[in-house]
Structure 1
Amino acid sequence: MNKVVAFLFGLVCFSSHSFAATVPKPYVPDEPVAVVKSTPATKPAAKEITVIKRPVKKAATVAKTGAVKPLATKTKKTAKSVVKKKTTVTKLALNSTQRVNKYNQTQNRAKSRQLAQKSKNQTARISSRAHTVARPALVANDKPQRINTIPLDRSGPSLDSNAALIMNADTGRMVYGKNAARRTPIASITKLMTAMVVLDAGLSMNQPITISNADVDRVKKSSSRLEIGTTLSRYDIMWLALMSSENRAAHSLARTYPGGKGAFIAAMNRKARALGMRNTVFYDSTGLNKNNTSTAADLALMVQAAYRYPQIRQLSTSTEHDIISASGRPLHYQNSNALVREGAWDIGLSKTGYIREAGRCLVMVADVQNKPMVMVFLDAGAPSGRINDARNLKSWLERQPVNRLG
């Protein structure tokens, strides 16, 4: 009897011990394992893959065995593993059914390749103190032609601007128009032509220019923060003219042009004729003269041409710039376009303008649905009219089929 009891007791103890051994223990890792996503290697045979993203901003190397090894803070990146973001420079569109074919043929010609190589060798400097001019040479087939077909204001939003135009900068397709052929004063939109004439002349952008009494506005009696006696480089002067629409700066660019102001105005009008702007005329370099007139259709051509100059793109979309005045005071300038200052839009070129006769004006090149769109707004009444018009039209364009945007 005692042997039977002892046998049963031993059996119970053995079963309890076996059951406890089969109960899984909770897994507690030694340290958290970050989930990383590695970019695909350019070569399948590569031994290492550089991990691009990691929450703690530390790179890790994943070996073939799958083990994760932390690296030093400075990781090595092979040239082939880095994918450079391609920058797209919008070409000047032709207003004809063969614009794309002609452009491709021109690019394949030896002359265009030589011009492109020459432009590469002339590096455009972003610094405000020194700049190397890269003179863009117009190729015959790149010359824009007069826009003859202007769409009516169909289902687009109601605008405060009395004239407006939207066009695909790549293809030249007109997407929206309102009184696009109406001739009107253009105010400081003029300064885009001023900048192109200066750059075409190949003048030294490092040359100092001193603001003189001759640069004071005697047409509209407008004020200026740019004191008489202030000396800046031609590059800084053009920066203020494009970004902040500084009138004394724009006037000094014409005054210091070879041959003086008269030769400069003549060059502006020759440039307009070369671009096919038949309904445009210039009388000064600032836009203060109400006789500087054009149409939305003509200005679309001018914006396309200006967009080919990297200096104009850079300076017109800068948000701010500082200078030292003649009295030694630091002056802080900001972009006159609120949309550029906000930074929410992808804007490649910008210029504002205002005089009483012209109303509020605005021209831009902005990306909409990944397409560069030329936007022209003229003669808006309310101070915020041109900005609201731009926002409303952009929202309208984003609701359109992509193929409608050209």
Structure 2
Amino acid sequence: MARTRIPPVAGGLAAAVAVVLAAACWVVFPPETAGHAIAARPAVDLPLPWPAEGQASAEVQNLGSLGSRGEQGPVPIASVTKVMTAHVVLKDHPLRPGEAGPQITVDEQAAAEANSAEESSAPVRAGRGIGERDLLALMLVPSGNNVARLLARWDAGSQEAFVAKMNREAAVLGMTSTTYTGASGVEDSTTSTATDQLRLAREVMRNPVIREIVATADLRVDGVPGPIANTNTLLGRDGVIGLKTGSSTAAGGALMWAARARDGALILGVVLHQNPGGTPAAGLRAALDNSGKLIAAIQRELPAATR
């Protein structure tokens, strides 16, 4: 069979197009070496105070990557896990803005876990019906581990079945360095990278229900003692509108964050593995402090860099 000959000009154009597409994909979806993502090449190179330890990644909507720092190898992410839990629940049971959603009965397990001194929880009572949106808020705002597992059981019948959904969704989003082993993040075996979690942040901030919940500074739910404060104390500073904190001894402090630039553009970032091995409270303070410095610098430097 005779081979089809590609004219030199056409071949050259095709090669040029391939190079351009490959370069674009490099920025948006960084390659991997031995399972570890290589830091994304910044589309806008700003002088930023990246955290000295752990890993971080940031981007600006419709502009591109601001870069990454630290080895992008999987580390425990603690309660940042709950962002994927919320994403999967809302994918299976979508809500419109302002909609309460179906009533979900608090089971005995969730009520018993509300009294745990070992992990963060929300004060829910057995037998009480709470709307889907309010439960999502109790999971994301005060970081209720018991509510995360309740939502997983309600959605999939068991936490194990729900975790399988989480991992399938991570694969769909191209989160190749992520493994979920629980719905709450309490397990140190749930691991990810800043670049992977940035992909998830990009996806969930398209959902107006999640955007509204994670921007809530304090929460009131009928039948639940309140008000309940958001663990993300950066809200309202430097345009911050979310997203989710995480902390444990193994994970240190973690923060997936979202902010609005002065021109309204959405800035997204993830900071992981801050002060690991110390107390969860110290790790969270480090994650919030370092993220705050990073966000303030982006807000300051971005306008001049994009003129």
- Relative to the length of structure 2, the TM-score reads 0.75
Measured after TM superposition, the shift of residue 278 of structure 1 is 0.2
3-state SS in 2 of match to 1:338: coil
What corresponds to 2:266 in structure 1? 372
Which structure 2 residues correspond to residues 259-338 of structure 1 after superposition, within 5 A?
Answer: 259-325=157-223, 330-338=225-233
Alpha-carbon offset, residue 365 of structure 1: 1.5
**Following TM superposition, by how much is the alpha carbon of 1:300 offset from its aligned partner in structure 2, in angstroms?**
0.5
1:347-380 superposed Cα distances (whole Å, 9 cap, x missing partner): 3431111111101111111123423211111112
Q: Tell me if structure 2 keeps the 8 A contact 1:188–1:288.
A: yes
Q: CA distance change for structure 1 residues 255 and 368 in 2, over 3 Å: closer, same or farther? A: same
Residues 1:394 and 2:277 aligned together: no
How many pairs align? 263
CA contact (8 A) 1:183 1:295 kept: yes
Gaps in structure 1 of 5+ consecutive residues: 1-95, 102-143
- Partner residue in 2 for 1:146: 29
Per-residue CA shift, 1:35-89, capped at 9, x if unaligned?
Answer: xxxxxxxxxxxxxxxxxxxxxxxxxxxxxxxxxxxxxxxxxxxxxxxxxxxxxxx
- Read off the aligned partner of 2:186 and give its amino acid letter: L
Return closer, same or farther for 1:252/1:161 CA change in 2, 3 Å cut-off.
farther
Shift of 1:259: 3.7
Asked which structure has the greater CA Rg, the reply is 1
Instruction: Give the direction of change, closer, same or farther, for the CA distance of 1:398–1:214 in structure 2 (3 Å limit).
Output: closer
Please give the alpha-carbon distance, in whole angstroms, between the structure 2 residues aligned to 1:159 and 1:150.
16
- Is 1:354 the counterpart of 2:247 in the alignment? yes
Q: What's the Cα RMSD here? A: 3.2
User: Which residue does 2:59 correspond to in 1?
Assistant: 167
Kindly indicate which of the two structures has a greater share of residues assigned to helix.
Answer: 2
Q: Are the structure 2 counterparts of residues 402 and 290 from structure 1 closer, same or farther at C-alpha, using a change threshold of 3 Å? A: same
Instruction: Look up the match of 2:104.
Output: 208
Aligned equivalent of 1:197: 88
CA distance in 2, matches of 1:395, 1:284: 33
Supply the distance in 2 between the matched residues of 1:317 and 1:161 (Cα, whole angstroms): 27
Q: CA deviation at 1:386?
A: 1.7
**Residues 285, 97 of structure 1: alpha-carbon distance in 2 compared, 3 angstrom cutoff:** farther
Q: In the alignment, residue 357 of structure 1 is paired with which amino acid?
A: A
- Which residue type is aligned with residue 395 of structure 1? A
> Does the aligned pair in 2 maintain the 1:156–1:176 contact within 8 Å?
no
Matched, 1:254 2:137: no
CA deviation digits over 1:279-336, x for unaligned, max 9?
Answer: 00101110001111000110110100111111111111111222344xxx63321111
Aligned equivalents of 2:93 and 2:247: distance in 1? Answer: 29
> Structure 1 vs Structure 2: percent identity of aligned residues?
26
Q: Relative to 1, partners in 2 of residues 1:398 and 1:195: Cα closer, same or farther, differing over 3 Å?
A: closer
Instruction: Give the alignment's TM-score, normalised by structure 1.
Output: 0.58
Asked whether the equivalents of residues 244 and 256 of structure 2 are also in contact (C-alpha less than 8 Å), the reply is yes
Q: Choose from 103, 118, 136 the match for 1:221.
A: 118
Q: Which has the higher strand share?
A: 2
* Distance in 2 between residues matched to 1:369 and 1:377, nearest whole Å: 22
Whether the 8 Å CA contact 2:139–2:148 is kept in 1: the answer is yes
Residues 161, 386 of structure 1: 8 Å contact kept: no
| Partner AA of 1:146 in structure 2 | F
Hey, which bits of structure 1, 4+ residues long, moved more than 6 A?
Answer: 217-220
Q: SS state of the match for residue 384, structure 1?
A: helix
The residue type equivalent to 2:193 in the other structure is T
Instruction: Name the CA shift for 1:211/1:276 in 2 (closer, same or farther; >3 Å).
Output: same
For 2:286, the equivalent position in structure 1 comes to 385
